[in-house]
A and B are shown apart, each in its own frame.
Chain A
Amino acid sequence: MIGAAMPLAVNFEAILSVDFLITVMAIAGIYAILAMGLQVNVGYTGIPNFGQAGFAALGAYIMAVLVTGGPDGDGFMSFWLAMPIAIIVTMGFGVLVGTVSLRLRADYFAIATIAAAEAVRLFAQNADAVTGGNQPLFGFDNSFEGITDGIEDFLESSFGWDTPLFTGFVVVIWITLVLSAVVLSRMQRTPWGRVLRAVREDEEAARALGKNTFSYKLQSLAVGSFFGALGGGFLAMYFGVINPNNFEPAITFLAYGVLILGGLASYWGVLVGSMVLWTLIESTRYLDIGLSGQQEASLRFMVVGLVLILLMAFRPQGLFGKREEMVIGE
Chain B
Amino acid sequence: MSDAAPTATARPAAPTGKGQILEVDGIVQTFGGIRAVNGATFDVEKGSITALIGPNGAGKTTCFNVVTGFYRGNSGSVRFDSEEIFREPAHRIARRGMVRTFQITKALARMPVIDNMLLAGADQPGEKLFNNLIRRGASKAREAEIHEQALELLDEFNLRKLQDSYAGTLSGGQRKLLELARALMTRPRLLMLDEPMAGINPTLGARLLEHMERLRKEDGVSFLFVEHDMEVVMNHADRVIVMAEGKVIAEGLPAEIRENQEVINAYLGGGASQKETERTQR
Contacts and interface: CB of A to CB of B under 8 A. Distances in A.
B186 A204 contact: no
Given A197-B108, A201-B110, A210-B122, A191 B143 contact: yes
B61 interface: no
Interface in A195-222: 195, 197-198, 200-202, 204-213, 219
Contact of A195 (B99, B119, B143): B119
B50 to A, nearest CB: 19
A325 B119 contact: no
B95 interface: yes
A328 B90 CA distance: 27
Assign chain B's interface to a size class.
35 or more
Interface stretch (B32-40, B123-131, B232-240, B257-265): B123-131
B222 interface: no
Majority secondary structure of chain A interface residues (helix, strand, loop or mixed): helix
Contact of B109 (A209, A210, A328): A328
B101 A201 contact: no
Given A202-B106, A324-B166, A328-B110, A208 B128 contact: no
Nearest to B165: A324
A194 B111 CA distance: 9
A198 to B, nearest CB: 5
B181 to A, nearest CB: 12
B139 interface: yes
B252 interface: no
A204 B119 contact: no
Question: Of residues B102, B118, B120, which shows the largest number of chain A Cβ atoms within 10 Å of its Cβ?
Answer: B120
Question: Of residues B92, B110, B111, which shows the largest number of chain A Cβ atoms within 10 Å of its Cβ?
Answer: B110
Contact of B91 (A192, A212, A325): A212
Given A191-B124, A192-B127, A201-B110, A210 B186 contact: yes
Contacts of B92: 210
Contacts of A192: 126-129, 131-132
A287 interface: no
A330 B168 contact: yes
Contact of A329 (B109, B126, B129): B109
A292 interface: no
Contacts of A158: none
A198 B102 CA distance: 16
Contacts of B60: none
Contacts of B119: 191, 194-195, 198, 206, 209, 211
B100 to A, nearest CB: 5
Contacts of A201: 108-111
A71 B131 CA distance: 42
A165 interface: no
B215 interface: no
B108 A205 contact: yes
B37 to A, nearest CB: 19
Contacts of B182: 209
A190 B118 CA distance: 11
B29 interface: no
B89 interface: yes
Interface in B109-157: 109-111, 115, 118-120, 122, 124, 126-129, 131-132, 139, 143
B70 interface: yes
B183 interface: yes
A198 B109 CA distance: 9
Given A205-B106, A208-B99, 19 more contacts: A191-B139, A194-B118, A194-B127, A195-B127, A197-B110, A198-B119, A201-B108, A201-B111, A205-B102, A206-B119, A207-B91, A208-B68, A208-B70, A208-B106, A209-B99, A210-B91, A211-B91, A324-B166, A328-B109
Interface of A: 187, 190-192, 194-195, 197-198, 200-202, 204-213, 219, 324-325, 328-330
30 contacts: A187-B129, A187-B132, A191-B124, A191-B132, A191-B139, A191-B143, A192-B126, A192-B127, A192-B128, A192-B131, A194-B115, A195-B119, A197-B110, A197-B115, A198-B108, A200-B110, A201-B108, A205-B107, A206-B119, A207-B91, A208-B102, A209-B99, A209-B182, A210-B91, A210-B120, A211-B91, A328-B166, A328-B168, A330-B109, A330-B168
